[in-house]
């Protein structure tokens, strides 16, 4: 899981004869990202972080707004011909500076652009949720396998210092055997016209957005895969924001060890919290998964202790995430948050929706 100059040099040296991308990493050139979708996340959050990356840099953008594309290209000194429209996206095949395509589009467009990127011979980073169905996730994984390209999901929180320390504490037995996780994520979605509220674009409501963090936390804090899910939804369908997708949904996961997780997401309150209870203590994170400002404490024997995690070797979670894929490309390793990880979540997401719809517990792992 560790990224570093030494790892990259060692692995890259062993792989000079590999694909062109690997050969370039071995020569020390940073791998080139093309960012697809210049919205709040792609433009506002990801592009600025590329300046701080050790193994990555911005080389192209893909946008529906040519003026915005030209402005970003000028601001970042991109080479001529580095701005693509969605329609001419497939021409990225002819641009050897692009090693990795990062898809930052509305959820229902992830599958199409990931598959086209793989067919163009590029490695792919895809935002969460990976797609809007299990079938799409499977097709994305198959396309990347066929093209022999790597696929990573933008689960930035796996590179965030507090969450990494929380996972380490849980696995180390610091609070005893893990029995229970409670995870709640939400924000107030005010704009009724937002794509997140249009099912054809989002695939679903709060579960497809912040709910992914609640689900991920339940899985990484227990370190287990759930065997059953029971869900309930509560949405005011008269609210113009929620005609197509859910507002609040809550679900219980049962794990093989007997541990349970109570998870929740909503679009009508701000919350961001993960509580993990073991037999001898608890680990609390609040805020847990924000871009920054995380706080963590442990509770044990009647006292609470604030926890400051050891710093990561990368500047922040975004930089760690962005540099992880070039590291994996150079070393031949699978990303710690691969396409399979996104698929696992999507299988559970489908079961959560099905449980809420049918009013019954859904067994996971093939059993319905």
Catalytic positions, written as ranges: 128, 213
Q: How many residues bind ligand NAD (CB under 6 A)?
A: 18
Which of 15-23, 105-113, 216-224, 328-336 is the region at the interface with ligand NAD (rule: CB under 6 A)? 105-113
Strands, sheet with 56-62, edge to edge from the N-terminal-most edge strand = 83-84, 56-62, 31-36, 100-103, 123-126, 151-153
Residue with tokens 């690997």: 22
For residues 255 and 365, the answer to whether their CB atoms sit within 8 Å is no
Which of 34-42, 134-142, 236-244, 265-273 is the region at the interface with ligand NAD (rule: CB under 6 A)? 34-42
Q: Give residues 118-177 in contact with ligand NAD (rule: CB under 6 A).
A: 127-128, 154, 156
Note the Cα 31 to chain centre separation in Å.
20
Distance, CA of 69 to CA of 64 (rounded, Å): 8
For residues 229 and 362, the answer to whether their CB atoms sit within 8 Å is yes
| 106 is a contact residue toward ligand NAD (CB under 6 A) | yes
CB of 60 to ligand NAD, least distance (A): 15
Q: Give residues 246-275 in contact with ligand NAD (rule: CB under 6 A).
A: none
10 Å CB burial of residue 101 (0-12, 13-18, 19+) is buried
**For ligand NAD, which residue has the nearest CB?**
39
Distance, CA of 266 to CA of 284 (rounded, Å): 20
Among 40, 87, 172, 238, binds ligand NAD (CB under 6 A): 40
| 69 is a contact residue toward ligand NAD (CB under 6 A) | no
> At a CB cut-off of 8 Å and minimum separation 6, what does 277 contact?
175, 178, 179, 180, 181, 182
10 Å CB burial of residue 174 (0-12, 13-18, 19+) is middle
Q: Give residues 170-229 in contact with ligand NAD (rule: CB under 6 A).
A: 195, 201, 209
Which of 20-28, 31-39, 269-277, 308-316 is the region at the interface with ligand NAD (rule: CB under 6 A)? 31-39
Distance, CA of 94 to CA of 103 (rounded, Å): 18
Quick one: 95 or 272, whose CB is closer to ligand NAD? Answer: 272
CB of 61 to ligand NAD, least distance (A): 10
CB of 90 to ligand NAD, least distance (A): 16
For residues 185 and 269, the answer to whether their CB atoms sit within 8 Å is no
| 281 is a contact residue toward ligand NAD (CB under 6 A) | no
Quick one: 214 or 298, whose CB is closer to ligand NAD? Answer: 214
Which residues contribute to the site for ligand NAD (CB under 6 A)? Answer: 37-42, 64, 104-107, 127-128, 154, 156, 195, 201, 209
């Amino acid at each position: 899981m560790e990224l570093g100059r030494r790892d990259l040099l060692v692995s890259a040296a062993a792989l000079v004869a590999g694909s062109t991308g690997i050969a370039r990493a071995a020569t020390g050139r940073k791998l080139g990202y093309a960012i697809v979708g210049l919205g709040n996340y792609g433009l506002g959050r990801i592009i600025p972080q590329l300046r701080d990356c050790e193994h990555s840099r911005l080389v192209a953008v893909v946008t529906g707004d040519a003026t915005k594309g030209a402005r970003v290209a000028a601001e970042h000194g991109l080479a001529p011909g580095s701005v693509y429209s969605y329609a001419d996206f497939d021409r990225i095949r002819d641009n050897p500076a692009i090693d990795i395509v990062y898809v930052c589009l509305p959820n229902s467009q992830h599958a199409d652009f990931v598959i086209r990127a793989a067919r163009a011979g590029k490695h792919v980073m895809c935002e969460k949720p990976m797609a809007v169905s299990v079938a799409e996730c499977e097709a994305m994984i198959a396309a990347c396998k066929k093209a022999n390209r790597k696929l990573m999901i933008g689960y930035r929180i796996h590179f965030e210092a507090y969450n990494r320390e929380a996972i380490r504490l849980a696995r180390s037995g610091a609070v005893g055997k893990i029995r229970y996780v409670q995870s709640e994520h939400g924000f107030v979605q005010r704009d009724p016209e937002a794509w997140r509220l249009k099912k054809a674009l989002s695939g679903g409501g709060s579960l497809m957005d912040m709910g992914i963090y609640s689900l991920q936390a339940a899985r990484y804090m227990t370190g287990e895969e759930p065997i059953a899910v029971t869900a309930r939804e509560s949405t005011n369908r008269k609210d113009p924001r929620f005609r197509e997708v859910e507002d609040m949904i809550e679900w219980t996961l049962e794990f093989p060890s007997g541990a349970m997780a109570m998870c929740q997401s909503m679009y009508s309150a701000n919350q961001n919290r993960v509580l993990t209870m073991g037999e001898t203590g608890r680990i609390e994170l609040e805020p847990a998964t924000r871009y920054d400002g995380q706080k963590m404490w442990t509770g044990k024997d009647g006292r609470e202790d604030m926890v400051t995690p050891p710093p990561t070797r990368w500047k922040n979670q975004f930089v760690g995430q962005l540099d992880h894929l070039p590291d994996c490309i150079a070393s031949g390793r699978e990303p710690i948050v691969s396409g399979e990880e996104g698929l696992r979540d999507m299988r559970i997401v489908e079961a959560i929706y099905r449980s809420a719809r049918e009013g019954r517990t859904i067994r996971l792992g093939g059993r319905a």
